[in-house]
């Protein structure tokens, strides 16, 4: 494994959640001095995120109607050259009402990106 491995991140599912994850993961990879690549064939480590809708509910509160959506986020990763599994954070969920902004999604993405970076650094330290 190179000292500065190239990481490919792919997300499928809800676009708003995937977009926030992509931005947060790119920022975190840069901070941790990993190389973020957009071509999977150039990556040393590939990460996949699957975002799926779990629940949607509409509730009236304080003379306002909230349409809260809940999404699950599941991550998997592997070292591309050896197919060795790379431990990732456990599946998680995020709930928010898109009409009132997506700050909850952005915050969840930042936290998850930090956890991904920690897992990648842990994997690399075991490789050396």
Within 10 A of 45 (CB to CB), how many other CB atoms are there? 22
The side-by-side arrangement of strands in the sheet containing 64-79 is 35-37, 6-12, 45-61, 64-79, 92-96
H helix runs in 1-128, sequence order:
15-31, 103-127
**Encoded tokens for 45:** 């480590």
pLDDT, tens digit, for every residue of 86-106?
Answer: 999 999 999 988 877 789 999
Q: Is the pLDDT of residue 15 over 90?
A: yes
Of 2-6, 43-47, 57-61, 93-97, the range with the highest mean pLDDT is: 43-47
Question: Locate tokens 């509409």: which residue?
Answer: 58
The CATH number of domain 6-127 is 3.40.50? yes
Residue 85: its H or E element: none
Domain locations along the chain: 6-127
């Amino acid at each position: 494994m190179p000292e500065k491995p190239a990481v490919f991140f792919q997300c499928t599912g809800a676009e708003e959640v995937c977009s926030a994850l992509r931005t947060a993961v790119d920022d975190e990879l840069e901070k941790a001095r990993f190389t973020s690549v957009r071509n999977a064939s150039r990556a040393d480590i590939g990460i996949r995120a699957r975002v799926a809708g779990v629940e949607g509910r509409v509730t009236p509160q304080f003379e306002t109607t909230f349409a809260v959506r809940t999404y699950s986020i599941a991550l998997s990763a592997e070292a591309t050259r050896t197919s060795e599994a790379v431990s990732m954070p456990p599946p998680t969920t995020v709930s928010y009402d898109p009409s009132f902004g997506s700050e909850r999604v952005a915050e969840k993405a930042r936290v998850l990106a930090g956890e991904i970076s920690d897992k990648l650094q842990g994997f690399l330290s075991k490789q050396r």
